[in-house]
Chain A
Amino acid sequence: MSSPRIDTSVAPSQVYFEDVELNVPLETPGMTLTAAHVAMFTGVAQDVSPRDDGFVPDLLPLCISSGLGWRVPRPPLAVLAFMGFEWRFFLPLRVGDTIRSISVTNAKRSLREGGVVIEERRIVNQRGETTQAGKLTLLVAKRPKP
């Protein structure tokens, strides 16, 4: 008899399409933007744009917000794919600023395989000012049939 195989396909509790609640704001913890974030991001993006010290790349806060979104008092969303987004940049951020993100699902549409969820998200700084904001479209799994 073969040894029991650990079933890694069993995911911990997740929020499926059916469970997504509309118009419930979720606020993440904060993240202070550091020179380390900027160095890692610039390295991985290989962005060669000339920028001054303390400059935070435009797309870095959005990327950090995607991880912050996992740290809200709700199990993670069962995302199958990130379909697209529309985003606007209102205020520049600098190293030393602390961001958090506030998001709310304002629409969902059921498909045969999963469903589409529209999330409005804004990234605020330590003064509560909205620095970047927009709308994200996610394909989310439906609850597995028993």
Chain B
Amino acid sequence: MLSLPSVSSPDAAFFEDLKVGREYISPGRTVTETDVMIFAGLSGDYNVLHTDAEHMKGSLFGERIAHGLLGLAIQQGLASRGEPAAAHGLLAAVKWKFKGPIRLGDTIHVRSRIVGLKEGVEPGQQLVSVERQVMNQRGEVVQEGETEHVLGSRTP
């Protein structure tokens, strides 16, 4: 079973502080070629989609695109800057759709909304479900899905 990390941050959020329907909007972030190359090296995913500019000229997208999982990692980081479940809860589940490409130079941000709060299996553990949309600078949803986080209670 998932155990919670030792968190002593003053702004730590507890289950009791959250409400269904609460919405959060993250800061934005421009996804760069550097991000893509670091992610290629880190993950070992050197697919031509992300690394071969010449090949991609003739593709569906016309240019290199960011790894879908890089977008997922970046949105998790963006969400950690303000959404309590992302900052303080471990992930229990993710259901995710990659709806469109994130191109090098695109600026994305995350809109999230708490859609579910329920007791976990272990005492003192609660599950928070969050719907998230990753939007680009044109207001298009490029990724979306639902994340489930394990969060501690004020009175474990």
A interface list, Cβ under 8 A from B? 8-9, 11, 37, 40-41, 43-52, 55, 57-59, 62-64, 66-71, 76, 79-92, 134
Contact = CB atoms under 8 A, between A and B. Distances in A.
B77 A81 contact: no
B98 to A, nearest CB: 5
Closest 8 CB pairs of A and B: A67-B44, A45-B77, A58-B91, A46-B77, A84-B97, A45-B73, A82-B68, A47-B77
B74 A46 contact: yes
A9 B55 contact: yes
Interface residues of B, number: 51
Given A82-B68, A89-B2, A49 B87 contact: yes
A67 B38 CA distance: 13
B123 interface: no
B91 A89 contact: yes
B42 A46 contact: no
B43 A49 contact: no
Contacts of B98: 81-84
Contacts of B94: 85-87, 134
B95 A47 contact: no
Mostly, the A contact residues are: mixed
Contact of A48 (B38, B46, B80, B96): B80
B54 A9 contact: yes
Nearest to A51: B5
Contacts of A11: 48, 55
Mostly, the B contact residues are: mixed
Contact of A40 (B38, B88, B92): B38
Given A43-B38, A63-B43, A87-B93, 5 more contacts: A44-B73, A46-B80, A69-B45, A79-B49, A84-B98
Interface string B127-156: 000000000000000000100000000000
B52 interface: yes
A66 B67 contact: yes
B76 A89 contact: no
B58 A50 contact: no
Contact of B42 (A37, A52, A71, A80): A37
B60 interface: yes
Contact of B90 (A43, A46, A83, A92): A92
11 contacts: A40-B42, A41-B73, A48-B87, A50-B8, A50-B12, A51-B7, A63-B73, A64-B42, A66-B67, A67-B44, A69-B45
Contact of A9 (B29, B58, B93, B145): B58
A63 B42 contact: yes
Interface in B9-39: 9, 12, 29, 35, 38-39
A38 B132 CA distance: 24
Nearest to A81: B98
B56 to A, nearest CB: 10
